Structure 1
């Protein structure tokens, strides 16, 4: 999106004066030709591959060993660490089986029965089961309330418990007042903690969790943070940690190969800088975007990354370059794909502010998110016709992810004068201030996340492996558009994130 004049002026006789294109002057790529060529590193050495195989088997044995009362808490922590270190994709069957055993042992009619009086373990058990699709009741947290129905103030001294409760509350759905209160209470207590305990060992982790919630963070990016926290924990499993580091470095090599090939396609085959100088040069950022959707080696990211990059070009063509006459001709040529973009262009040139409902319908299509989510399924081997039919019939989780993308992009990009946004639409329709409109739109984002959380609980319409793609598309938006448009302004946080995934290696 870009800045520019709101409408085309006309002279006294009705003739249009020479038109100045609303060029955005996007800053150039911060990467240059860094990823253009790929040179393998020692991460692919035979010794590392063999070491990883042996360590993987050790981790698998820990997951499949019998569970009992004595090692119940250990099993919970081990599953959590495997997932947060980014290697759970190696052990999906083992984790499925273990969590099923844990569910059968610890619940009755979806209620967690007596397990632990410790807040940390109770919240961890609740979160792990909910993350896996079990529709667990939040009533288990009643035992942590006082006589007034509020969470006991004494819990505030248990920082690990507070953090575990905060992460569990991230999976709240509509109507769950208990988890709403849990989120509010834990957030307040953790915020107080970091203002007082500036040098405590937990401070850095709490600060990160408050800035980027676990539920809304990108799993592979979160793994880079968790590895340092986990390594500092005296009780960490050295074999698991070493395996996670080796796996990260080896998988990074695969990702670098892909980024190099896609960069060549962008710069050499399409020659975007010469042929389309008005567009954002963001192919590396597009690669990062889709790595956020699926980083696992068994999935193909090519088609979805190319679709994202081409969608970015079309977005810039309509928002930052084309005249209305040119856009009419272009729209006629590929009408079904870009009709929604054309509707937005007409809004801009006629100063029309649509209703929120009209805006969200049109902008949801032009954002490309429903298309990209469906496209991402083509990179997955187990995609069926039924899954594609489901995806093209506006399921709640795809609609919610799209709404998050549209609203968060609008909030951080609201200074673009010529672009109609959900903020303007809400202000006009409800006759409220800009501040009030943003607050209400942020509530819609929270509600959309509740829709996502609910759609991931059993029974589900499609397997979790497809639902999690829609979750990850929403996560990308939360990571990149929380404070500003870090796709357009790619030199700050986006650059740091890309370096974490594609430049920096894990030290062994």
Structure 2
């Protein structure tokens, strides 16, 4: 797999401020090289025939990747960014109207700038959440109510769905007259994706807005083309399910065309994106210096991964390892063993020609997709103080691990199952559902898409409840599901890197935003 594609996946999982730390330091790479036996593992005389994915060669030539440079690393850019951030902080302090505050926070988030102002944003949202005045004032304003609901839920405030009751008719349906309020409809649509199980009003909101926004778009009812682009973009994939850096790159261009665009925010957004991109580029170039010829045989590859994992944990949590090191390493070995066991179950299904039920398939596939292992590794990477309580919590595979991994698996299946079946792989969720129910492939795909939404509802619950792991880890876990939607939105974007994935890698890693 192309290193550039891997790196773009890595940066989509982590938030911008987490990229200041190298995924693998030079010291770790040296340890990996020193730990490996210079001779390759011996092989028996017996030839083992393995199925091949027949993936295309990487389109990212090594010397090309190493030759790229970014000018956005100098002190002059840092000074200018700091100056602009200071002015934005003043702006946040001066804006007093609650709706203006929410709109500014929304723009900062979508421009990829909010991580610079988390303290100011948190204080503002605490005040807004503690006051009932805005809800009372906006009970007839669909746009304002939806925006406040979405942003507060996104930041962990469990706002009740009943705030939308004033927009329902006597039958419990959203009033038809709301269809003319495109901004309000679009904002309600985005808010509905922060629902949890059993929230009927938000389910009705999702169905209502999706139906009418699609109809209006098909009938070319939007006079504002910028707004029409936003509607089409959201209907393709809601904001809550999108990866931040790609969404930021798209939204900067949209924001530049808005009549209410703020030049200060636009300049900072472009500068910050280019500076973060320079960090991504540095990480990617570091990773591509690894000797990929060492991956020639699978056992050797697994040895590299394990040593890199061990040493990376040692780099990032050295003090914790001194106290709980044996527990952590034992835990990681257990995780690797369970992943291998999941692979073995799939191999048995394949060789026996068995098609599992959808429930059987998902009961194994949430592990075989490697989501839990990826997330545990991410936990060590982002957590400054690893506690035994948190490890014991994660060892039980809590909701956030399970449902994120299932969403990851299902998105993968939607994008890759057809190609995988052609080369002789086990049935995926789509085929399992078809075999079990007699549904057509189109019906099965629609069901799997709905199932992804149900697991997102479960993930949303973790935004509101206290657990031994941080909210930052919950965000990273959700980002894994978002990355899957990004990788497989147009097919196998991970295995076939010369289509949409190529443009996305270029936009995130290589091509800076021009003035």
TM-score normalised by the chain length of structure 1 = 0.79
Q: Offset at 1:46? A: 2.5
CA deviation string 1:242-277 (max 9, x = no partner):
111111111111110100011111xxx23268667x
Match of 2:305 in 1: none
Which of 392, 398, 401 aligns to 2:401? It is 398
Which of 270, 273, 277 aligns to 1:252? It is 277
Which of 365, 372, 375 aligns to 1:370? It is 372
Any conservation in 2 of the 1:135–1:457 contact (CA below 8 Å)? yes
Q: CA RMSD in A?
A: 2.9
Match of 1:225 in 2: 250
Matched, 1:32 2:87: no
Match of 2:187 in 1: 164
CA deviation string 1:308-366 (max 9, x = no partner):
xxxxxxxxxxxxxxxxxxxxxxxxxx855522212211211121223433322322222
Match of 2:359 in 1: 357
Structure 2 residue ranges without an equivalent (≥5)? 2-45, 302-308, 314-335
Q: Offset at 1:66? A: 6.6
Match of 1:147 in 2: 170
> Using a 3 Å threshold, how does the CA distance of structure 1 residues 365 and 199 change in structure 2: closer, same or farther?
same
Match of 1:270 in 2: 292
> Using a 3 Å threshold, how does the CA distance of structure 1 residues 182 and 472 change in structure 2: closer, same or farther?
same
> SS in structure 1 opposite 2:131?
helix
Match of 1:463 in 2: 470
Q: Partners of 1:264 and 1:145 in 2: how far apart? A: 59
Match of 2:391 in 1: 388
Q: Partners of 1:462 and 1:232 in 2: how far apart? A: 40
> SS in structure 2 opposite 1:165?
helix
Write the mapping of 1:180-329 to structure 2, written as runs, cut at 5 A: 180-197=203-220, 200-201=224-225, 202-265=227-290, 269-271=291-293
Match of 1:426 in 2: 433
> SS in structure 2 opposite 1:147?
coil
Q: Partners of 1:127 and 1:91 in 2: how far apart? A: 19
Q: Offset at 1:34? A: 5.6
Any conservation in 1 of the 2:416–2:488 contact (CA below 8 Å)? no
Q: Partners of 1:34 and 1:149 in 2: how far apart? A: 62
> Using a 3 Å threshold, how does the CA distance of structure 1 residues 376 and 383 change in structure 2: closer, same or farther?
farther
Structure 1 residue ranges without an equivalent (≥5)? 2-16, 280-299, 305-333
> SS in structure 1 opposite 2:513?
coil
Q: Partners of 2:180 and 2:390 in 1: how far apart? A: 47
Q: Partners of 1:155 and 1:378 in 2: how far apart? A: 47
Match of 2:132 in 1: 106
Which of 389, 402, 410 aligns to 1:407? It is 410
Quick check: which one's helix share is greater? Answer: 2
Any conservation in 1 of the 2:400–2:474 contact (CA below 8 Å)? yes
Matched, 1:48 2:74: no
Q: Partners of 1:205 and 1:335 in 2: how far apart? A: 45
> SS in structure 1 opposite 2:240?
coil
Write the mapping of 1:39-118 to structure 2, written as runs, cut at 5 A: 39-65=68-94, 67=96, 71-106=97-132, 112-115=135-138, 117-118=140-141
> SS in structure 2 opposite 1:271?
helix
> SS in structure 1 opposite 2:282?
helix
Match of 1:343 in 2: 345
> SS in structure 1 opposite 2:72?
helix
TM-score normalised by the chain length of structure 2 = 0.78
Structure 1 residues 367-376 or 231-240, which shifts more? Answer: 231-240
> Using a 3 Å threshold, how does the CA distance of structure 1 residues 354 and 388 change in structure 2: closer, same or farther?
same
Q: Partners of 1:489 and 1:154 in 2: how far apart? A: 45
Q: Partners of 2:133 and 2:380 in 1: how far apart? A: 37
> Using a 3 Å threshold, how does the CA distance of structure 1 residues 262 and 479 change in structure 2: closer, same or farther?
same
Q: Offset at 1:126? A: 0.6
